[in-house]
Amino acid sequence: MRTSVDDVKEKGIELEFSPDVKAAFLRLLPLRSISRFWGYLTSLDIPIWLRPSIYKAWARAFHADLEEAALPLEEYATLQDFFIRSLKSGSRPIDLDSNCLVSPVDGTVLRFGELRGPGALIEQVKGFSYSAYSLLGATTSLHEIVDMDAPEEQSEHSFTEEPHKTSWLRISLASPRIRHPISASPKKGVFYCVLYLHPGDYHRVHSPVDWQVLLRRHFSGRLFPLNQRATRTIRKLHIENERVILEGRWREGFMAMVAIGATNLYIEPELKTNRPKRQLLHTEPPDEKIYEPVGIGLMIKKGEEVAAFNMGSTVVLVFQAPISGSSGQYATPSDFKFSIRNGDRVKAGEAIGSWSGS
């Protein structure tokens, strides 16, 4: 059934931020308890004879490709096992070009651009943006590489919002801060890309590059839905939701990958998300872990499995990449350029941006 949203998109009109009563109502619901109950249901064993029928029905409803599943449907004991299923070997070839970043997930490109100016704003939807610092946390090393004194500029994909009154930028946390030799050279820009995973998508998260993961930061926030409607109606959706941040460095400098939603972290299996909250306040400090050896962390290869989501989720990449200092018609081949557009469907391992270089 077509909706007014479908009609607007077909006409090429971009939807704008528009909070409504339903979005406000979501804040009153016990979403964390509902999510845990759903998690309990999906962890129940399904009779073997019934599994193919259930999984095929799920696939029809959410347009999942069952041909890619690594195992016969009968071998997925629970809906959760099916949901985070692995794929047949070769289903997601990784672009091995050392001068490109690959998509960490199967999903839809929501937003991308370059972070410029004092706000370092990431666009949520046309008409509303949020600070990258609020997303990553007050102790992020991003502070050290973005020129806070630069004139406020916006990329073609970025829009401004009113100053953030009570953000993590203004809170001092008693957690260790990793300082590492990330270049603040003007020949490195800072970019972002936001990818949304539909319920029917392959839900494992892969590394976009070869990099060193120095620390993990976990915000046990809310569990709002992350679909298109929520994106355009819930203010600060990504920075209010529960999320796991992996932060470190790659050959071009800073790298952070943010998994928004209930997450299984393969590189740290003991981390549990979607737990009962002990505090009512949503401004509590994040849980932070520094990976050893300190300053070296975990070495992750491009394409390596890092995590898996339990439902429809979102990944945000924030990273440094080469720039020449020119823009527009004066940009050079050595400048990093995205090879995607808003609304594109991408698969894990496909290049989302590249540059020419040695």
* Residue tagged active-site, from 35, 106, 203, 238: 106
Neighbours of 189 (CB within 10 A): 23
CB burial class (10 A; 0-12, 13-18, 19+) of residue 281? exposed
Task: Tell me whether residue 354 is one of the annotated catalytic residues.
Answer: no
Q: Provide the token pair at 280.
A: 């009512």
C-beta separation of 333 from 89 below 8 A: no
Catalytic (active site) residue 43: no
In angstroms, the Cα distances linking 224 to 144, 210, 264, 320 are 31, 31, 18, 29
102 and 349 in contact (C-beta within 8 Å)? yes
Residues 187, 316: Cα–Cα separation, whole Å: 23
H/E stretch holding 51: helix 51-62
Yes or no: say if 168 and 159 are a contact pair by the CB < 8 Å rule: no
**CB proximity list for 324: less than 8 A, separation 6 or greater:** 187, 331, 332, 334, 335
Strand partners, 131: 121
SS (H, E, C) 257-284: EEEECCEEECCCCCCCCCCCCCCCCCCC
Residue 321 to residue 250: CA distance in whole angstroms: 10
The catalytic position among 141, 313, 335, 354 is: 313
C-alpha distances in Å from residue 275, one per residue of 221, 315, 356:
10, 20, 45
> Is 65 labeled as catalytic in the residue annotation?
no
- Given 206, 218, 220, 335, which residue is catalytic? 206
Token duo for residue 209: 């590059």
Residue 285 CA to residue 18 CA, distance in Å, equals 29
| Positions marked active-site | 106, 206, 313
